[in-house]
C-alpha cells in the first residue's frame, strides 16, 4: 500500500493536532474524514473545508470507508475506542497516532488489535499553546521533529509508510526510535522542561514582580501555560522516565546550591563553562 | 544640578553596558569619556565616535573633568577604584553604576566615599548574550526596566537625577526599590532562572538529543550560555536571597515529584492550573 491520494483518511479527535493533519493531508489531495465529540469542531471544519466528511458521533459508515485511521485524541481514549469500533475497520488498514508518550500505549493497542490491521505509532513533536481545530495549522510541522516508534510487531512496509506520512506533512526531520528510547528522550526534552516551568511559576507568589521580569523569566515560564488534563495524563503515563529526569535535575540544583553555600566560585564557574559549551551545540540548529 | 548637555560623563568600563550608555548619552549631546583597561575597546569606541575621549589607563586628567561617573565594570572593582581615584574627583559630582546586585555594593561604596560626592545606585535590567563595546546598542534599553536603589544617604535631588538618567537612556519603565527589595526580586526573576538553565543543561549529558529538542528546551536553556566570571560573582554577592529562592524552587520540584510518585493527578492538575493562571498575568505585558 503506497500513498495513493484516493485513500480515505479518518482522523479521530479533531483538535489542534488532528486539524493540522487534516489541513496538510487534504491539501495533498486525500479524502479527509473526522470524528470528534465536539459538534462545533466538526461544523467549523466542514464549513472551512478542512475536512470532507465528519461526524460528532462514532459513525460506523465513516469508519468503514477509512483506509487509514489517525488517532489525535487523549491517550487513554485510544484503546477503548479501538476495542469498541475495530469491528467496522476495512480489512488490512493502517492506524497511527500523535501521542506524546509511547511505551504505555503502543504495546497495549497492538495486543488488542485485529490481526489484519497494523498500528504503527508516531509522535509529531509540534504544538502550540492554543487549542482546537480553529487554531490548527500544518505550518507548525515545518520546523519540527517527527518520530516513528515501531515495535517487533511492525512490518518494514508500515514503518516506511509512517515515515512517508511525516515527510508528506512537511516535518523537518523524520526519525525512528524504540518506544523506550522515545520515552526517555521526551521525559527530558519535553516533560522535565514543563515540570520546571510549572515549578518556577508556582514556587512563590511572584505576581507582584510582573513589572520587573525580562526575557529570561518569560522564556522559562512560557510553557507554564499548560493544558492540565493533557499534561497530567502524559506525565503519569511516562512516570518512571520522568521521575529519573526530575531526580537528575534536582540533584544538580542541590549541587549548585551547595557550591553557593560554600562560596565555591571555581565550582560554579566550571558548571557555567559546561552549560555554555553544551548549549553552543544547540545554537547551531 | 539638572541635565545640562555640556556635562562631561566618564564611563568606567566600556563593555556592552558601558557602550550602550555611551551611545545613548552621546546622541543626546553629552561629552562622553571612557576608561577601560582594554586598549582595543577604547580605540574602537574613538574610531566609531561612540566616545569623545578615552584612555586605557586610569587617567587623572579625564577623571578631573568628569561631572558624572558611571561604573560599568565588574562589581568587585568599583570600591577599590573609588578608593584609589576619588582624590581626582571634581567637587560635588554624582556617581552611579549598572551593577546587577545592590545591597553588597551600595552601602560599602557610600561608606568610603568623599562627603561632597554622592553615589546613587541603579540597575538597568538589560543585556545580551554577547560582550564588548563592539556589540553595544542602546536599543536594548527600550523594552527594559531601570531600577534606582537609593539608601538613607541619598538626596531627593540625586534620586530624581538618576531616574531622569534612566528616562534619557530610553528605558521603558523607571522605578525605585530599596537595595534589599531589589536583591530579593533579582534573586528570583534573574538569578534563579539562570541557575535553572545551567542545572538543566548540566544535569545529564544530553548532547545526543540535540536533534530532538524543540522550542521548549531551547527557550529554557538559552541563558545557560552564560559569562561565568560575571555571573558567579553576582550569585555570590547575592548569596542569601538566591539561596532562599533556590530552596523555594527545589521544594516545589520535590512536591511535584511526590505527586507524580503517588499518581496524584488531581494535585498535578491543580499545580498546572495555578501556573497557567499566574503566567497569564505575564502574557499581558
Q: ∠ at Cα B98 (B92, B100), nearest 5°?
A: 135
Give the orientation angle of helix A103-112 with respect to helix A179-186, to 10 degrees: 150
Q: Which residue from A minimizes the CA distance to B259? A: A236
The Cα A216–Cα B129 span in angstroms is 11
pLDDT of A87 above 60: yes
Are A36 and A54 contacting, i.e. CB atoms less than 8 angstroms apart? yes
What is residue B214's predicted lDDT score, i.e. its pLDDT?
A: 75
Residue ranges of E strands in chain B? 8-12, 31-35, 53-55, 68-71, 94-97, 118-119, 122-125, 145-148, 173-176
Interface of A with B in 104-163 (CB under 8 A): 125-126, 144-145, 147
**pLDDT confidence of residue B2:** 53
User: How far is residue B200 from each of residues A194, A220, B271, measured CA to CA in Å?
Assistant: 12, 11, 21
pLDDT at residue number A21: 98
The answer, for A253 touching chain B at a CB cutoff of 8 Å, is yes
Q: Measured between CA atoms, how close is B149 to chain A, in angstroms?
A: 14
Contact in structure between A220 and A200 (CB atoms under 8 Å): yes
The CA distance from B88 to B111, in Å, is 18
For B276, the 3-state DSSP assignment is helix
Neighbour-count burial of B156, counting CB atoms closer than 10 A to its CB (0-12 exposed, 13-18 middle, 19+ buried): exposed
How far apart CA B198 and CA B187 sit, in angstroms, is: 15
Gap between the Cα atoms of B84 and B114, Å rounded: 12
Distance from CA of A126 to the nearest CA of B (A): 8
Mutate to test the interface with A, among B149, B275, B277 (most CBs of A within 10 A): B275
**The predicted structure's pLDDT at residue A50:** 98
Contact residues, chain B, for A227 at CB < 8 Å = 272
Cα gap A279→A251, rounded to integer Å:
20
* pTM summary value: 0.85
CB contact, 8 Å: A258 with chain B?
no
Instruction: Answer whether A203 sits within 8 Å of B248, measured CB to CB.
Output: yes
pLDDT interval class at A282 (50, 70, 90): confident
- Chain A residues close to B225, C-beta within 8 Å: 275-276, 279-280, 283
ipTM of the complex: 0.86
Rounded Cα gap, residues A183 and B72, in angstroms? 47
Chain A residues lying within 8 Å of B272, measured CB to CB: 198, 226-228, 231-232
Give the tens place of pLDDT for each residue, A41-80.
999 999 999 999 999 999 999 999 999 999 999 999 999 9
Interface contact flag, B173 A211, Cβ < 8 Å: yes
- Cell numbers 557610600: residue: B110
DSSP string, A229-263: HHHHHHHHHTHHHHHHHHHHHHHHHHHHHHHHHTT
Task: Show Cβ contacts of residue B177 under 8 Å, excluding neighbours closer than 6 positions.
Answer: B147, B148, B149, B185
Percentage of the residues of chain A whose pLDDT score is greater than 70 = 98
Residues in chain A: 285
Asked if B117 and B93 count as a contact pair (C-beta separation under 8 A), the reply is: yes
Q: Is A4 on the interface with B (CB under 8 A)?
A: no
Look at residues B193, B253, B24 and name the one whose alpha carbon lies nearest to residue B124: B24
* Angle formed by the axes of helices A193-202 and B239-261, nearest 10°: 120
Contacts B222 to A, Cβ<8 Å: 216, 219, 279
The fraction of chain A above a pLDDT of 90, given in percent, is: 88
Binning pLDDT at 50, 70 and 90, where does residue A3 land?
A: low
What was the pLDDT predicted at A1? 47
Tell me whether residues A211 and B185 touch, CB distance under 8 A.
no
> In B153-264, which residue ranges form alpha helices assigned H by DSSP?
156-168, 179-186, 193-202, 215-221, 228-237, 239-261
Question: What gap in Å lies between CA B185 and CA B200, rounded to an integer?
Answer: 22
Interchain CB distance below 8 Å, A269 and B232: yes
Cβ contact B199–A252 (<8 Å): yes
Q: Give B 214-233 residues with CB within 8 A of chain A.
A: 214, 216-229, 231-233
Q: Give chain B positions within 8 Å (CB) of A243.
A: 257, 260-261
* Contact residues, chain B, for A285 at CB < 8 Å: 210-211, 213
Q: How confident is the model at residue A264 (pLDDT cuts 50, 70, 90)?
A: very high
CA-to-CA dists, residue A48 to A22, A42, A247, B155, angstroms: 12, 10, 47, 65
pLDDT over 90 at A215, yes or no: no
- Could you tell me the pLDDT band of residue A285, with boundaries at 50, 70 and 90? very low
CB contact under 8 A, A279 and B224: yes
Interchain proximity B276–A235, CB inside 8 Å: no
* Average pLDDT over every residue of A15-33: 96
Chain A contact set for B212 (CB, 8 A): 125, 145, 147, 175, 185, 189
Burial A101-124 (b: 16+ CB within 10 A, else e): bbbbbbeebbeebeeebbbbbbbb
- The answer to whether the Cβ–Cβ distance between A217 and B273 falls below 8 Å is no
Distance (Å, whole) CA A165 – CA A240: 30
The CA distances from residue A204 to A44, B199, B246, B278, in Å, are: 41, 20, 11, 11
* Contacts for A155 with CB less than 8 Å, ≥ 6 apart: A118
The pLDDT value given to residue A129: 73
Average pLDDT for runs of 10 along chain B of length 285: 74 97 96 98 98 96 98 95 98 97 96 98 88 94 94 97 96 96 94 96 88 84 92 95 97 98 98 95 71
Closest to B217 (Cβ–Cβ): which among A193, A239, A253?
A193
Q: Which of B147, B211, B242 sits opposite A173 (nearest CB)?
A: B211
Let me know how long chain B is: 285
Residues of chain B with Cβ-Cβ distance to A246 below 8 Å are 253, 256-257, 260
C-alpha cell at A130: 492554543
Q: Is A220's CB within 8 Å of B218's CB?
A: no
Separation CA B240–CA B232 (nearest Å): 14
Distance from CA of B251 to the nearest CA of A (A): 8
Contact across the interface for A268 and B236, Cβ inside 8 Å: yes
Amino acid at each position: 500500500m503506497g500513498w495513493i491520494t484516493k485513500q480515505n483518511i479518518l482522523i479521530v479527535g479533531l483538535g489542534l493536532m488532528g486539524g493540522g493533519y487534516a489541513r496538510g493531508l487534504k491539501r495533498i489531495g486525500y479524502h479527509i474524514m473526522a470524528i470528534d465529540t465536539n459538534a462545533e469542531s466538526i461544523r467549523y471544519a466542514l464549513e472551512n473545508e478542512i475536512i470532507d466528511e465528519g461526524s460528532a458521533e462514532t459513525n460506523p459508515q465513516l469508519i468503514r470507508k477509512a483506509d487509514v485511521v489517525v488517532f489525535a485524541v487523549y491517550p487513554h481514549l485510544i484503546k477503548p475506542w479501538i476495542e469498541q469500533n475495530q469491528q467496522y475497520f476495512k480489512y488490512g488498514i493502517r492506524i497511527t497516532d500523535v501521542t506524546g508518550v509511547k511505551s504505555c500505549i503502543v504495546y497495549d493497542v497492538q495486543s488488542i488489535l485485529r490481526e489484519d490491521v497494523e498500528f504503527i505509532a508516531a509522535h509529531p513533536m509540534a504544538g502550540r499553546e492554543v487549542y482546537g481545530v480553529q487554531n490548527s495549522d500544518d505550518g507548525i510541522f515545518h520546523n519540527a521533529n517527527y518520530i516513528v516508534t515501531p515495535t517487533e510487531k511492525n512490518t518494514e512496509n508500515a514503518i516506511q509508510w509512517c515515515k512517508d506520512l511525516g515527510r508528506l506533512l512537511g516535518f523537518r526531520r523524520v526519525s525512528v526510535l524504540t518506544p523506550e528510547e522515545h520515552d526517555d528522550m521526551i521525559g527530558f526534552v519535553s516533560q522535565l522542561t514543563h515540570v520546571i516551568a510549572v515549578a518556577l511559576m508556582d514556587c512563590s507568589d511572584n505576581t507582584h514582580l510582573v513589572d520587573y521580569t525580562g526575557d529570561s523569566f518569560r522564556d522559562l515560564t512560557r510553557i507554564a501555560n499548560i493544558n492540565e488534563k493533557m499534561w497530567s495524563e502524559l506525565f503519569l503515563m511516562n512516570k518512571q522516565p520522568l521521575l529519573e529526569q526530575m531526580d537528575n535535575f534536582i540533584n544538580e540544583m542541590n549541587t549548585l546550591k551547595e557550591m553557593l553555600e560554600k562560596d565555591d566560585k571555581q565550582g560554579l564557574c566550571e558548571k557555567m563553562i559546561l552549560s555554555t559549551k553544551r548549549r553552543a551545540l544547540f545554537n547551531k540548529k
